[in-house]
A and B are shown apart, each in its own frame.
Chain A
Amino acid sequence: MVTKRLESCMGLRMGTFWPCVLVLGLAVTGYGAEAAAPAAAAVPKIDSGDTAWVLISAALVMLMTPGLAFFYGGLVRRKNYLSVLMQCMIILAALSIQWVLFGYSLSFAPGSKWLGSLDWVGLRGVGFAPYPDYAATIPHQVFMIFQGMFAVITPGLIIGAFAERMKFSAFLVFTLLWATFIYDPVAHWVWGVGGFLRNMGALDFAGGTVVHINAGIAALATALVIGKRKSVDKHPIPPHSLPFSVLGAALLWFGWFGFNAGSALGANGLAGNAFVVTNTAAAAAALMWALLDWTINGAPTMLGTISGAVAGLVAITPAAGFVGVGSAIAIGVGVSVVCFVAVSYIKPLFGYDDSLDAFGVHGVGGTLGALATGLFASKAVNPAGADGLFFGNPRQLLIQAIAVAVTAVYAFVGTLILYKLVDVLIGVRVSDKDEAMGLDLTQHNERASTMLE
């Protein structure tokens, strides 16, 4: 969404702007005071098609969080299965409340360069009328809830880094702090009125920087400080149910149409383009990862194929509104190669235990996607966007790199501070005994399935 999405909305605004001027002009030239009143209060016209599409998209993005739960849940050992599902579901609940109470205001209410104001706390003033700076043809509340689903899934992505060893209470506090002090400000920088990255001209169509780099870097930071799972050195931990992960990946792919095509904030050609390139990049990346597995590891794996699909979806996210199909294939192929190397070679080299590769896929893939947007973006696809390096504008790549670097540094340092704070207050890691028994029983007093009866 980002700056350029907003500019594309301004195109729509112009459509409503001129009739307003006309009405105003008529009023001034003597058509009477009655005409002036409605004109002054002229509300941009709500488009039912746009509103319907963005509402559906919000629902699609909502489904990604349970999708992520299954994707991650299938990858852990069965003694920790519920703990991952629970972390995802409680995020859906807790952050939905955080968002309407103050998260949306901190992210999107006009404020400083660094943070939104508190003007929209409790959704005060966020109603049926559009807020044209963000989306001129849909109710403000609809824009708010669409954004809310992004705020929900982003901290969910980090779970992959500390899965199987974090105390639930610490997780809950950490997540709320992270959403408030990391996600909300970064969302404001990139998408909010006055945000400094937005003003700089960084392209991020649907949240490559705000969502994937932000969460991916936070994942790396938490994986480094929380330490490895017991026994992970001796042998890799195989997924307990890959079919569940496949189901989750399928739901993510499906929901991503709302994430990316919904970020056009209208039922229009741009949404169609985002839909097509999203599907294309996911497909190219899934195929590429399967081929890499086949040639390097001897067989095309199911886990590799779904990992590739998710990496492709991550990478196309910032680019979806600015690139065409050919670029989408290049981005999909490229991200699979880079993420494959990151999770199979770089992770073992450095020895951190990013359990489910939240950094390896979202951090690395998100960074590649943001930089690739600086290469492949084209005004031929979206006149409201910008040209990238391959279309004669090397400066765009520099802007993209700055946005990546600023977000990564803030997310890394901020996450470490919040982690340490929670560790001092509550203690982040479960005891060795609880880790051995599994988080389902020790954190939730339940097990995912019974062995007998």
Chain B
Amino acid sequence: MKLIVAIIQPHRLEAVKEELYKAEVNLITVSEVLGHGRQKGVTEVYRGFKETGNLLRKVRLEIAVNDSFVEPTIKAITTGARSGQTGDGKIFVLPLEECYRIRTGETGREAIG
């Protein structure tokens, strides 16, 4: 079992969801987050006061998958989120120790799917 965490551009969320749906990955948690990578953030101006390096809006995905779904999930996110520009985002794959489904008490493979 793996936990896949991805940081993507907000406007790519719909495309990524579409690709994940095609790959039959249906369980996903999405949060709005702030951050920046190589883009170095944005400049804002308020009544003449400039602030550089402000954080950008990003979307963070969390998807728990069984091992066989790791590659298709990564492929789906990459296909949906890539534009070729800096700021497309990152995908992190983490080992996942256990998973419980609260409603039934199932654990492991069954709980994830």
Point out residues on A near B: beta carbons under 8 Å.
Answer: 235-236, 238-239, 293, 296-299, 301, 303-304, 307, 340, 343-345, 348, 357
Shortest distance from the beta carbon of A223 to any chain B beta carbon, whole Å: 15
Q: Which of B45, B47, B48, B49 contacts A299 (CB 8 A)?
A: B45
* B45, B47, B48, B50 pick with most chain A CB within 10 angstroms: B47
Q: Which residue of B lies closest to A357 (CB)?
A: B47
Q: Which of A298, A307, A345 contacts B45 (CB 8 A)?
A: A298
- Chain A residues within an 8 Å CB radius of B50: 297
Shortest distance from the beta carbon of A302 to any chain B beta carbon, whole Å: 10
The answer to whether B97 has its CB under 8 Å from any CB of chain A is no
Q: Contact: B47 with A238, CB < 8 Å? A: no
Q: Contact: B45 with A235, CB < 8 Å? A: no
Q: Contact: A238 with B51, CB < 8 Å? A: yes
Q: Contact: A297 with B48, CB < 8 Å? A: yes
Q: Which residue of A lies closest to B47 (CB)?
A: A343
Q: A304-B47, A340-B48 known; 20 other A-B pairs, CB under 8 Å?
A: A236-B46, A236-B51, A238-B44, A238-B51, A239-B46, A293-B45, A297-B45, A297-B50, A298-B45, A299-B45, A301-B45, A301-B46, A303-B46, A303-B47, A307-B47, A343-B47, A344-B47, A344-B48, A344-B49, A345-B48
- Chain A residues within an 8 Å CB radius of B47: 303-304, 307, 343-344, 357
- Shortest 10 CB-CB contacts between residues of A and residues of B: A344-B48, A236-B49, A297-B45, A343-B47, A236-B51, A238-B46, A235-B51, A236-B46, A303-B46, A303-B47
Complex interface bits, B7-25 against A, C-beta within 8 A gives 1, otherwise 0 = 0000000000000000000
Shortest distance from the beta carbon of A350 to any chain B beta carbon, whole Å: 15
Q: Contact: B48 with A343, CB < 8 Å? A: yes
- Chain A residues within an 8 Å CB radius of B48: 296-297, 340, 343-345
| Bound complex: CA A303 to CA B47 (Å) | 7
Shortest distance from the beta carbon of A434 to any chain B beta carbon, whole Å: 25
| Bound complex: CA A301 to CA B47 (Å) | 8
- Chain B residues within an 8 Å CB radius of A238: 44, 46, 51
Sample of 25 A–B contacts (CB below 8 Å): A235-B51, A236-B46, A236-B49, A236-B51, A238-B44, A238-B46, A238-B51, A239-B46, A293-B45, A296-B48, A297-B45, A297-B48, A299-B45, A301-B45, A301-B46, A303-B46, A304-B47, A307-B47, A340-B48, A343-B47, A344-B47, A344-B48, A344-B49, A348-B49, A357-B47
* Chain A binding surface SS class: helix
| Bound complex: CA A307 to CA B48 (Å) | 12
Complex interface bits, B31-45 against A, C-beta within 8 A gives 1, otherwise 0 = 000000000000011
- Chain A residues within an 8 Å CB radius of B49: 236, 344, 348
| Bound complex: CA A130 to CA B51 (Å) | 56
- Chain A residues within an 8 Å CB radius of B45: 293, 297-299, 301
Interface size on B, residues (CB 8 A): 8
| Bound complex: CA A301 to CA B49 (Å) | 12
- Chain B residues within an 8 Å CB radius of A236: 46, 49, 51
- Chain A residues within an 8 Å CB radius of B44: 238
- Chain B residues within an 8 Å CB radius of A345: 48
Complex interface bits, B47-59 against A, C-beta within 8 A gives 1, otherwise 0 = 1111100000000
| Bound complex: CA A157 to CA B49 (Å) | 22
* B44, B48, B51 pick with most chain A CB within 10 angstroms: B48
| Bound complex: CA A308 to CA B44 (Å) | 19
Q: Which residue of B lies closest to A348 (CB)?
A: B49
| Bound complex: CA A86 to CA B48 (Å) | 28
| Bound complex: CA A303 to CA B46 (Å) | 7
Shortest distance from the beta carbon of A113 to any chain B beta carbon, whole Å: 40
Q: Which residue of B lies closest to A360 (CB)?
A: B47
- Chain B residues within an 8 Å CB radius of A235: 51
| Bound complex: CA A344 to CA B50 (Å) | 10
* A235, A307, A357 pick with most chain B CB within 10 angstroms: A235
Q: Which residue of A lies closest to B43 (CB)?
A: A298
- Chain B residues within an 8 Å CB radius of A298: 45
- Chain B residues within an 8 Å CB radius of A301: 45-46
Q: Which residue of B lies closest to A343 (CB)?
A: B47
| Bound complex: CA A299 to CA B50 (Å) | 12
Shortest distance from the beta carbon of A157 to any chain B beta carbon, whole Å: 17
| Bound complex: CA A299 to CA B42 (Å) | 13
Shortest distance from the beta carbon of B44 to any chain A beta carbon, whole Å: 6
Q: Which residue of B lies closest to A340 (CB)?
A: B48
Q: Which residue of A lies closest to B48 (CB)?
A: A344
Q: Which residue of A lies closest to B45 (CB)?
A: A297
Shortest distance from the beta carbon of A339 to any chain B beta carbon, whole Å: 10
Shortest distance from the beta carbon of B68 to any chain A beta carbon, whole Å: 35
Shortest distance from the beta carbon of A346 to any chain B beta carbon, whole Å: 11
- Chain B residues within an 8 Å CB radius of A297: 45, 48, 50
Shortest distance from the beta carbon of B67 to any chain A beta carbon, whole Å: 34
| Bound complex: CA A357 to CA B47 (Å) | 10
- Chain B residues within an 8 Å CB radius of A343: 47-48
- Chain B residues within an 8 Å CB radius of A340: 48
| Bound complex: CA A239 to CA B47 (Å) | 11
Shortest distance from the beta carbon of A188 to any chain B beta carbon, whole Å: 35
Q: Which residue of B lies closest to A307 (CB)?
A: B47
